[in-house]
Amino acid sequence: MNISAHMIIVLTVVSLFSGLSLVYMNEYAEPLIKINQEKAMKEAIFKVLPDAKDVEKIEQDGRVIFKTVNEAGELVGYAFVAEGSGYQGIIKIMVGINPELEKLTGIDILESVETPGLGAKITQDDFKSQFKGISVSPGIEYIKAKKPEKPNEIQAVTGATVSSRSVVNILNTTVKEIKEIVKKIEPSGEGENE
Amino acid sequence: MSSVRLYTEFFKGFWKDNPAFRQLLGMCPLLAVTTSVLNGISMGIAMTFVLVCTSIVVSLIRKIVPNQVRIATFTIIIATFVTIADLFLKARFPPISKALGPYIPLIVVNCIILGRQEAFAKKNPLGRSFLDALGMGFGFTLALLLLGAIRESLGSGSILDIQILGTWFEPWVIMILPAGAFITLGFLIALMNLIDERLKKAA
């Protein structure tokens, strides 16, 4: 047989088998991957809004906001993903905020590539728990090497000021945006269960 | 080639021709993912799976693939199995898939796999190719495991996330940074050479 024809036939047949098996694999994996992603997202939401039992996804102005309610159907707060640059790369944070949009209920770092042993400490509970109940107006601030006194202060991780500052900045910028958007969605809805 | 015993074909990947310590192949995943034992093992298993499957297929079709397009054919086969492994991990073990990040898709360009096809599977029968791939895969997994264990225990004071060193231990952060990977690899290769030399003298 002609060598060119031989090459074409072999490559075609191999590619065909490759394509078929990938289609088959994708059929199996795709729904599972989708479920995993949704589950991971929900888990992160429930972590930052511990009272939440059910989640409603709202899309507005290119932002996704998760409105959460407790067992009785009362509003417990909103969750959203805040994103910005850290010391080495993008930091992605799941943020929970109370219905009045004044206090954070918690944060969880979804993705980060900070320096192991230093900046990576922002993913530890010691750092994250400081944001529980923190006041976001006029804005979160960080202080170094001493205990925070004001309700809007957190203590930066020692040796990782840039990472700590990045988290604070990302939160402040995104919270401001989210406040505007939530006001648009629910002009009179604020504080309905207070 | 065929005079070599079958078990030699399998065991050469562990010590004599260990892909990581002897052939110095696959350095990119070896250095990058071994920050913990679990990452190392997962990477090793994924790699072994791809290597074994590819070697089987390549060995089966070795006589009908024209020499001119063999690399292209091998690459398609490797990429297919890598994608299967990647999708499977994403579907069944999302935390592992997240921890290994881009290093699973990057198995496609891992020189161990293409290397074994070129050096072995394309000219050996199915059984031998299978044993060769399995041995090389296990040898590489062992290397990943060793590196992961040393780096995790010194860098985080734990093995498989279980704390083994007490609170008195201040983790050596450098061990989980890239520099720690190079240092550990250097010491391990030196140790292997030393043992080899001693064995030769003794013999």
What are the φ and ψ backbone dihedral angles of A20, each rounded to 5 degrees? Answer: -60, -45
Asked if this assembly's ipTM is beyond 0.90, the reply is no
Residue A93 domain boundaries: 45-185
Identify the pLDDT of residue A69.
84
- In the numeric block, which tokens belong to residue A110? 């979804």
pLDDT at A62 over 80: no
Count of A–B CB contacts within 8 Å? 65
Which of B70, B81, B90 has the most A C-beta neighbours within 10 Å, making it the best mutation to test the interface with A?
A: B90
Question: What total number of domains does chain A contain?
Answer: 1
Within the 34-93 window of chain A, which residues sit less than 8 Å (CB to CB) from chain B? Answer: 36, 40
Contact B155 A118 (CB under 8 A): no
Which of A14, A23, A88 has the most B C-beta neighbours within 10 Å, making it the best mutation to test the interface with B?
A: A14
Give the lowest-confidence range in B16-30, B73-87, B158-172, B180-194.
Answer: B158-172
Q: What is the CA radius of gyration of chain A?
A: 23
Q: Which H, E and C letters describe chain A, residue by residue?
A: CCHHHHHHHHHHHHHHHHHHHHHHHHHHHHHHHHHHHHHHHHHHHHHHCCCCCEEEEEEECCEEEEEEECCCCCEEEEEEEEEEECCCCEEEEEEEECCCCCEEEEEEEEECCCCCCCHHHHHCHHHHHHHCCCECCCCCEEECCCCCCCCCEEECCCCCHHHHHHHHHHHHHHHHHHHHHHHHHCCCCCCCCC
Contact B68 A26 (CB under 8 A): no
pLDDT band with cut points at 50, 70 and 90 for residue B187 = very high
Contact residues, chain B to chain A, C-beta under 8 Å:
35, 61, 64-66, 68-69, 72-73, 76-77, 79-80, 83-84, 87-88, 90-92, 94, 155, 171, 173, 176-177
Identify the pLDDT of residue A28.
92
Question: What total number of domains does chain B contain?
Answer: 1
CB < 8 Å to A6, chain B: 66
State whether residue A22 sits within 8 Å of chain B by CB: yes
Q: Is there a domain that residue A23 lies in? A: no
Q: Is there a domain that residue A150 lies in? A: yes
Read off the pLDDT of each residue in A97-105 and give the average, rounded to a whole number. 86
Distance from CA of B142 to the nearest CA of A (A): 25
CA angle B47, B127, B77 (to 5 degrees): 45
Nearest by Cα to B138 from B116, B161, B166: B116
Identify the pLDDT of residue A194.
40
Please name the member of B72, B79, B94 whose beta carbon is closest to the beta carbon of A11. Answer: B72
pLDDT band with cut points at 50, 70 and 90 for residue A2 = confident
Residue B46 domain boundaries: 3-202
Greater pLDDT, A194 or A49: A49
pLDDT band with cut points at 50, 70 and 90 for residue A15 = very high
The DSSP symbol for B50 reads: H
Q: Is there a domain that residue A118 lies in? A: yes
Read off the pLDDT of each residue in B172-178 and give the average, rounded to a whole number. 83
Read off the pLDDT of each residue in B73-83 and give the average, rounded to a whole number. 93
- In the numeric block, which tokens belong to residue B98? 């997240």
